[in-house]
Amino acid sequence: MTSIADEARIAFDNLSERATGLFHPTLRLGVAGLSRAGKTVFITALVHNLLHGGRLPLFAAQAGGRIGRTYLEEQPDDAVPRFQYEEHVRALLEDRLWPDSTRAISELRLTIEFESASGWSRMFSAGKLSLDIVDYPGEWLLDLPLLEKDFARFSKEAVERARLPGREALAGDFLAILDGIDPAAEADEVTSARLHSAFAEYLRRCRADTTALSTLPPGRFLMPGDLEGSPALTFGPLNVDPAAAPYPKGSFGAVHARRYEAYKSVVVKPFFRDHFARLDRQILLVDVMQAINAGPAAVRDLEAALADILACFRPGRASWLGSLLSRRMDRILVAATKADHLHRESHRRLEAVVRRLVEDAIRRAEFSGAQVDIVAMAAIRATREANVEDGGERLPVIVGTPMAGEEIAGRRFDGQTETAVFPGDLPEDPARLLKGEVRADPLTFVRFRPPRLERTAEGLTLSLPHIRLDRALQFLVGDRLA
């Protein structure tokens, strides 16, 4: 995936950061996920609960009263935008609106002063850890598998996906232009730009579609930024014949292949080298319920996307000597988000579905010495649980305030009215679900507003409620605060 020069630069950066870490211990945590998985919400909830002493009974350092002070500090990377924590908290607490999705990479440093549980460690440790949280779009993550694919393979996979029954309607304009291009013909800029625009629009339609289609590279086509209009972004897949490659100089096949390689050099490799390869630990957030609602094809699509993503991680057992030159992710957490949209009776089934989706990647990571865990969680809990009687039968429901415009059984909500919802059940056997042998009953899946926070008798606002955020924190950073 990287050249010798890339690895040398990664090693130099690691050596420099490890030297600094001798006096100021740090842990770089990557937060990623596919579109709508809740990355921004997760980071905001994590920081808010630590800053405000949230209810985190499974987070040992907090539960044991060993955290003295937690505060935000200036981040170490001056060229990376700061994660706008304060704006996101205001949107959640004052407006009761979910913050905007991640559009670019950002970073935040949270420093924790703590007392070690070990008397020996208290003698030699400063009792301070800086958690550098790196937030990046899931679309960028989907680009990493491109590093190991040439243009012919990228084109073949992209065109095959576009012709799938679930996508052909979304890709109609792109396929019409594509089928009119001979890869061996002399290229012209107008046609290349038309193909790129149609392909990018197809990707945008996939991202917005309710069928939860997941495999959407190249990710920067969806958020081009200052590269918009550059040759590195003005290309698209072609009906390439591998037997005819390489195509003549100046042909569509040759021009688009060169621009594809430029995209990897200009966009993908710098992200991998400067950010991704510097991570110590990773949480991958997954919205699996929407894919389940969309049917077996969407679930298989999600499975393929997760396999590609996890194959790009650099798992391995962390060691002091080895980490001087090459960082390895020694802990990876895969989190099924929005668990508050289901009753707790289905949470274990939700975890079982995700575990089945990534079981091959888990085996590879554990073989490398990394620890991997699966958790069903809600970084911010927007609902509460209750029971209702229906024909003498107890029915577990969730209660919350649907967002304005949401509909349940033909009823449109105004964003102010609370309601009880029976979300449905997940199947007991995730393997049969993934194979398409059985289809899950549709889940009642609506967007709920963030909760209205309670206040104490003294007027203090309590921390954001959650489901298993403490378990996620304990897995990701608990050992560094022991």
Strands in 128-135's sheet, in edge-to-edge order, are 67-73, 106-114, 128-135, 26-33, 281-286, 331-336, 371-376
171 plus 111 within the same structural domain: no
CATH number at residue 77: 3.40.50.300
pLDDT attached to residue 477: 96
The conformational region for residue 350 under phi > 0 = left, psi -120 to 50 = alpha, else beta, is alpha
Q: How confident is the model at residue 224 (pLDDT cuts 50, 70, 90)?
A: confident
Residue 322 has pLDDT above 60, yes or no: no
Number of domains in the chain: 2
Whether residue 387 lies inside any domain: the answer is: no
Virtual torsion, Cα 211, 144, 201, 167, nearest 10 deg? -40
Residue 172 has pLDDT above 80, yes or no: yes
Distance of CA 226 to the CA centre of its chain: 23
Residue 344 has pLDDT above 50, yes or no: yes
184 plus 254 within the same structural domain: yes
pLDDT tens-digit readout, 39-77 = 999 999 999 999 998 899 999 999 999 999 999 999 988
What average pLDDT does range 294-316 have in this prediction?
78
pLDDT tens-digit readout, 243-289 = 877 899 999 999 999 999 999 999 999 888 888 888 999 999 998 88
Strands in 393-400's sheet, in edge-to-edge order, are 384-390, 393-400, 419-421
Residue 271: phi and psi, rounded to 5, are -65, -45
The residues facing 186 across adjacent strands are: 251
Which stretches of 127-273 are assigned E, i.e. beta strand? 128-135
Whether residue 424 lies inside any domain: the answer is: no
3-state DSSP percent of the chain in helix, strand and coil, to 5: 45, 15, 40
Least confident interval from 24-33, 307-316, 341-350: 307-316
pLDDT tens-digit readout, 175-190 = 999 999 999 999 999 9
More confident residue, 438 or 355: 355
Least confident interval from 145-159, 160-174, 293-307: 293-307
Q: How confident is the model at residue 470 (pLDDT cuts 50, 70, 90)?
A: very high
Instruction: State the number of CA atoms in the 13 A half-sphere of 166 facing the CB.
Output: 18
CA distances from 8 to 12, 200, 322 (A): 6, 34, 14
12 plus 127 within the same structural domain: yes
249 plus 348 within the same structural domain: no
125 plus 164 within the same structural domain: no
120 plus 178 within the same structural domain: no
Whether residue 391 lies inside any domain: the answer is: no
Whether residue 443 lies inside any domain: the answer is: no
**At CA 432, angle to CA 430 and CA 436, rounded to 5?**
115
The whole-angstrom separation of Cα 48 and Cα 461 is: 11
pLDDT attached to residue 444: 73
pLDDT attached to residue 414: 92
Q: How confident is the model at residue 7 (pLDDT cuts 50, 70, 90)?
A: low
Q: What percent of the chain has pLDDT over 90?
A: 49
pLDDT tens-digit readout, 399-447 = 999 999 998 888 899 999 999 988 888 877 877 676 665 555 667 778 9
Residue 221: phi and psi, rounded to 5, are -65, -25
Residue 323 has pLDDT above 70, yes or no: no
What average pLDDT does range 153-160 have in this prediction?
94
pLDDT attached to residue 185: 96
Residue 8 has pLDDT above 80, yes or no: no
Q: Residue 186 is part of which domain span?
A: 144-270
Whether residue 412 lies inside any domain: the answer is: no
What value does the mean pLDDT of the chain take? 85
The whole-angstrom separation of Cα 81 and Cα 89 is: 17
More confident residue, 227 or 381: 381
Whether residue 340 lies inside any domain: the answer is: yes
Last residue of a domain, one of 245, 270, 295: 270
18 plus 165 within the same structural domain: no
Residue 81 has pLDDT above 60, yes or no: yes
Whether residue 389 lies inside any domain: the answer is: no
pLDDT attached to residue 21: 53
Residue 294 has pLDDT above 80, yes or no: no
Last residue of a domain, one of 228, 246, 270: 270
pLDDT attached to residue 441: 60
Cβ contact 384:398 at 8 Å: yes
179 plus 257 within the same structural domain: yes
pLDDT tens-digit readout, 86-143 = 999 999 988 999 998 777 889 999 999 999 876 655 555 668 999 999 998 877 888 8
Residue 362 has pLDDT above 90, yes or no: no
329 plus 203 within the same structural domain: no
Q: How confident is the model at residue 37 (pLDDT cuts 50, 70, 90)?
A: confident
163 plus 47 within the same structural domain: no
pLDDT attached to residue 325: 43
What average pLDDT does range 368-378 have in this prediction?
89
Whether residue 441 lies inside any domain: the answer is: no
225 plus 293 within the same structural domain: no
Residue 58: phi and psi, rounded to 5, are -95, 0
CA distances from 452 to 213, 216, 360, 407, 470 (A): 32, 36, 41, 21, 21
Last residue of a domain, one of 217, 250, 270: 270
279 plus 225 within the same structural domain: no
